[in-house]
Structure 1
Amino acid sequence: MQKPRTLAAALAVSALVLLSACGTEQGAAPGSGAETPDLPVQGSHWTIAAVTLDGVRSVAPPGARLEIAENGRAQGNTGCNHFGAAVAVNGDTLTVSPEEVTEIGCPADRERFERALLKALTGKLDGALKDKALTLTSADGRSGVELAAETGAPLVGTAWTVDALLTGDTAGSLPAGSEGKAKLTFGKEGRLTGSLGCNRVTAPAKITDRTITLGAIATTRMMCTGPQMELETQLYDALDGPLTYRVDHRTLTVTDADGQGFTAQAG
């Protein structure tokens, strides 16, 4: 009576060995459908270099950038407006679903670039990562976005160009004709220097982990055009009193106790 049990056990062991061997062969077989690793783009920051739409390539304006967060969200700047999107990474394919964009008025050339960018940066895109460059291309190859890896910027020592005015959580456009005029630098010697849009400005600046406290603000007294003077007045008011700041990679946000303030881009 022992032989049947021994034979059954032997058959069971043989079956397990056979199944194990089959499984090993299947996993090792070429063309077995092994998944392509996801492109390591989450948590990355990029300068938008150019966009191609329907075969027409346009160089990006200064300030155009894209950040892909760890949580499947992306945000960026078209060179005029801020935008947000959902991003799903599957192997070397990125599926981008734009969700919001601010409504700052743009000069005509930046508006054209913005429309092309938002259209090209939509849907399933083939990603190619090489050195410090990322290219996202449509399936037909006629549209795509060229990106270059972007390094972060410190608050101190960076030239910041004001690109939007803030009222609470709302970002507003700069007065038409004043874009790129206001530039501020917080120096290592503890002073704010730069331009508010027309006049030069300087002030003592005490910087802690999250706050900026300015001393007496001194400016030159040049006469400015309407848009530049309007911007200068708003920035002068926003710099009054203790300020809270935040640096997100290359974007600086500064607000006062009432939520008035501005955003600025490095460089």
Structure 2
Amino acid sequence: MGTPRLTLAVLTVLPLVLGCAGDGGGASAEPGVTGVHWKVDSVTVDGVTRQAPADAGAGVRFGTDGTAVGSYGCNQFGARAAFTGHRVELTHAHRTLMACEPERMAFERALSRTLTGRSLAVGTKDGELTLTARDGDRVHLTEEKDVPLYGTRWTITSLGAGGTATSLPRPARGSAHLTFGKEPGRVTGRLGCNHVTAKATVRDGRITLGPAYTTRMMCDASLMRIEKRLLRLFDGTAGYTLDHRTLTLTSGNGETAEAVAGR
């Protein structure tokens, strides 16, 4: 989910977790399929196999509540996931509205066409998952472990408020990042321009950040605007969600910061 975004700076965050998803869950999922992040390696359509672009981050996680969430390689998506026997069908899919470079978008179209709205046979073996449609189109995936919160360099990719998320401007991409340390309970990093350090206490899905101590440099105006928004996460408590390689922080007033794990 650390995907370079082009063309559209602002996206509308569509519902990725469907409130009524459990109604379509149907039978239990295949053992070992739910609760795992599955990275998409390739998709085969009409006999032609496309390998996932490098660092596209395409993948899916099936929940035990009859939902599926993931990424097509550029856009995030959510859907209902109904398992019946050794088959699964993803319906009522919603996705974000970003645009990426042509190679990613071509792969995304092939993947979304194959993955959603079709009955797919489920095959698992030694950490691999194959989803195959009746006409032979298929998606090949491999299991990937979640990245730990602590000790990971989390690079900020977008900021959000009021239901929308905005990608960081080009000068700021890759410059804002945070790393959480379990001992002695601190966060360090850079806010786009200045370096920062603060106390950080993690408990029950929330992170309490102490006052930010920063350096005193002045940078490009766009970097300073990003820094000002990130500073609002400090000296307060933010909720956090960790999904594979993506960390989302949500402040008490609803502002969000999304970050991806460095490779």
Give the TM-score of the pair, scaled to structure 1: 0.71
Distance 2:157 2:241 in 1: 14
Note the C-alpha offset of 1:94. 1.6
- Tell me the residue number matched to 1:216: 212
Give the TM-score of the pair, scaled to structure 2: 0.72
- Tell me the residue number matched to 1:80: 74
Residues 1:243 and 1:43: Cα distance change in structure 2 (over 3 Å): same
Note the C-alpha offset of 1:181. 4.8
Secondary structure of 1:111's counterpart equals helix
- Tell me the residue number matched to 2:120: 125
Q: AA paired with 2:217?
A: R
Name the structure with the higher helix share. 1
Residues 1:58 and 1:239: Cα distance change in structure 2 (over 3 Å): same
Distance 2:103 2:125 in 1: 30
> Equivalent of 1:112, from 106, 109, 119?
106
Q: Which has the higher contact order (CA 8 A, sep 6+)?
A: 2
1:173 aligns to 2:166 (yes or no)? yes
> Equivalent of 1:59, from 32, 37, 52?
52
What is the Cα-based RMSD across aligned positions, in Å?
2.9
Secondary structure of 2:260's counterpart equals strand
Q: AA paired with 1:261?
A: T
- Tell me the residue number matched to 2:15: none
Any idea what the Cα deviations from partners look like across 1:37-70, whole Å, max 9, x if unmatched? 9622233322223333331413243433311001
Residues 1:114 and 1:171: Cα distance change in structure 2 (over 3 Å): farther
Any idea what the Cα deviations from partners look like across 1:219-263, whole Å, max 9, x if unmatched? 47374595xx27733643443431312233423221222111212
> Equivalent of 1:163, from 151, 157, 161?
157
Identical-residue share of aligned pairs (%): 34
- Name stretches of at least 5 consecutive residues in structure 2 with no aligned partner: 1-27
Residues 1:45 and 1:74: Cα distance change in structure 2 (over 3 Å): same
Distance 1:53 1:98 in 2: 22
> Equivalent of 2:37, from 38, 45, 48?
45
Secondary structure of 1:208's counterpart equals strand
